[in-house]
Chain A
Amino acid sequence: MKVRVQNHWPPGHIRTPAYLRGKTGEIEREIGLFNNPEQNAYRLPPQQQRLVRVRFTMAEIWGDAAETPDDVIEAEIYAHWLEPA
């Protein structure tokens, strides 16, 4: 399934890397429910979020500057950062 990482830039403790925001990838696997670090980091009562491994191509992330377009990066993204693509 294809998903897009939201292109949001909120302040605070964010574990969605800047270079993946706004990028589209394929769900590699669902990992399970984890406490949302954006709340956890500030001792706020954390909501559980689905954590998802998403696979992005180098071409999608770096465009024409990609070292090898078909190589991939996989990263864990919390579900509230993802939208259908």
Chain B
Amino acid sequence: MPHDHHDHDHGALSPSGHPYRKDDDIVLSYWQMMEISVRELLIEKGHITAAQIHNQINTMDARSPANGAKVVARAWSDPEFKSALLTDAGQASRDMGFDIGPMHLIAVENTILVHNVVVCTLCSCYPRNLLGLPPDWYKSRAYRSRTVIEPRKVLSEFGVEIAQDVQVRVHDSTADMRYLVLPAQPKETMGLSADELAYWVTRDSMIGVGLPQAPK
């Protein structure tokens, strides 16, 4: 049995060279306890079932940046759709068949004159009903505070240099709207199909901290 030997060192590294992660045997926080209590009460009183909660979590986990990539790729290849997207991005996404719930979405277009980047300084608002859960850095205090103070420096740390003659437009998701950046279509992709184009659209390019990239 693998755990019978006595020279087992719990401070050692895993076969892949990483330290073993400690079990999270910590006391629940006030809000964790509150969430569990409310959830269990709702189930006990028959308002919702555990299966319904689990299904909702699965639905959210199934959303991914690939959905947004399909929306962007279609906008690149279909001018009528692009115009619909810039008018009402929520409706245009629904018309493509994406279940985005009640989300209000605005698409902002990168051009030769404007580069858009999205942040939520107050919390972590993100178009998760289209793109899935936000990356951890999006929720960090550093990203949330610095992006409105020094967006060009933040972008350069993501590897994106914006020329001085291009205006940086920071969108702070302060209230009811969510934002999707429509990146500029790379020249080398002109003429590709929407299916092929979707592989070029990265999550970060739809937040504005990245650019479209050739698929690997």
| Residues of chain A having any CB pair with chain B under 8 Å | 15-17, 19, 31, 34, 37, 51, 53, 61-62, 67-68, 70-78
By a CB distance below 8 angstroms, the chain B residues around A75 are: 171-172, 174
Tell me how far the C-beta of A17 lies from the nearest C-beta in chain B, rounded to whole angstroms: 5
Task: Compute how far the CA of A77 lies from the CA of B171 in the bound complex, rounded to whole angstroms.
Answer: 12
Contact residues of B: prevailing secondary structure: mixed
Please report the C-alpha to C-alpha distance between residue A53 and residue B169 in the assembled complex, in whole angstroms.
13
Chain B residues with Cβ below 8 Å from A71 are: 151-152, 167-170
Minimum CB–CB distance for B122 against chain A, Å? 6
| Of B149, B169, B172, the contact of A17 (CB 8 Å cutoff) | B172
Tell me whether A34 and B172 are in contact (CB under 8 A). Answer: no
Q: Contact partner of B175 among A37, A67, A68, CB < 8 A?
A: A37
A67 touches B122 (CB 8 A): no
Report B164-184 CB contacts with A as 1/0, cut-off 8 Å: 100111111111110000000
Binding site for A on B (CB under 8 A): 104, 121-122, 148-153, 164, 167-177
| A–B Cβ pairs within 8 angstroms, 16 of them | A16-B174, A17-B172, A17-B174, A19-B121, A31-B104, A34-B175, A51-B177, A62-B149, A68-B168, A71-B152, A71-B168, A72-B169, A73-B148, A74-B169, A75-B172, A78-B175
Closest A residue to B153 by CB, please name it. A67
CB-defined contacts of A73 to chain B, threshold 8 Å? 148, 169-172
Q: Across the two chains, which residue of chain A brings its CB closest to B116? A: A74
User: With A19-B121, A37-B175 given, is the CB distance from A74 to B170 under 8 Å?
Assistant: yes
Q: How far is the CA of A16 from the CA of B174 in the complex (A)?
A: 7
